[in-house]
Amino acid sequence: MLIQTTARRPLGAWKGVLRRARQQRLMSMPFSRTITTETTPTIPSAVDHTPIPAAAPKPSPPKPFLHSLKPQNPQTPTRSAFAVYPRVPSSKASAPAPLDSYHAQQIRRLDPKGLRKRLFSKANPDAAKPGDVLQVTTKRGEPFAGVCLSIRRAGVDTAILLRNTVTKIGVEMWYKIYSPNVLGIEIVWRRPKRARRARLTYMRQPKHDMGNVDNLVAEWRRTRNVFSSKGKAGKGAAAAGAKGRR
């Protein structure tokens, strides 16, 4: 029986092969990488009068669009590719506040004498203020009296909020002072000390609620009747004296 053995090269032979391959690779490299030479500047023997060639002109930049052109003179207006139209005149010059003028016109129509406007004007020291008891007379129903909780000033929509206790139930009513349904607004009782708030919503609590104001209204009516009766009596006496003289 024959056994065939493969021929194997020893390890030293492989090292020699690799060494020779490395040497061949170094020999095949460019000559400039293996050898460096030192260059020395050469001094010309005579002055060279050869003209230096002119530099090539730079290429001109692309022409910009018309809307991106900038004027050389800052006083010259910038050119534009878009049509420019004059500005539309504003209506503020003729009517600076159209809503305010409309409110003033309506107030003059609804309150020609200006009594209600003066009654709730901030410039009037005797004007009605939050905390006063007011009585409003309307075309329908009985007059309603209550303490003024707040005054909402909004031009012709100015309104007041009155609160009263009717049959042990708190009732609040909003009244527009310039409404044609309101015949009159009278001050029944003035708060002795000015309120520190513009809206007296805390008076809805039982601790601060004034309750029913009918007693204040009755006293105010009694006082008004006394003054009116004195005036009528004086007028009657004056009329009787005039008749006696005749």
pLDDT in the model for residue 1? 45
pLDDT-based confidence at 186, cuts 50/70/90? very high
Which residues neighbour 220 within 8 Å (Cβ) at sequence distance 6 or greater?
188, 189
Q: What are the boundaries of each domain within the chain? A: 100-233
Percent of the chain scoring above 90 in pLDDT: 44
Report how far residue 146's alpha carbon sits from residue 148's, in angstroms, rounded to the nearest whole number. Answer: 6
pLDDT-based confidence at 181, cuts 50/70/90? very high
Query: For the chain, first and last CA: distance in Å?
Result: 184
* Better pLDDT: 32 or 184: 184
Report how far residue 14's alpha carbon sits from residue 5's, in angstroms, rounded to the nearest whole number. Answer: 20
Span 115-158, pLDDT tens digits: 999 999 999 999 999 999 999 999 988 899 999 999 999 999 99
Report how far residue 161's alpha carbon sits from residue 136's, in angstroms, rounded to the nearest whole number. Answer: 11
- Answer whether 147's CB lies under 8 Å from 210's CB: yes
CA distances from 13 to 16, 18, 22, 90 (A): 5, 9, 14, 103
Span 81-117, pLDDT tens digits: 777 788 888 777 776 777 888 899 999 999 999 999 9
Write the CATH number of the domain with boundaries 100-233: 2.30.30.790
> 26 pLDDT exceeds 50?
yes
Percent of the chain scoring above 70 in pLDDT: 68
β partners of residue 159: 152, 176
Find the DSSP H helices in the chain: 11-27, 31-34, 98-110, 115-119, 214-245
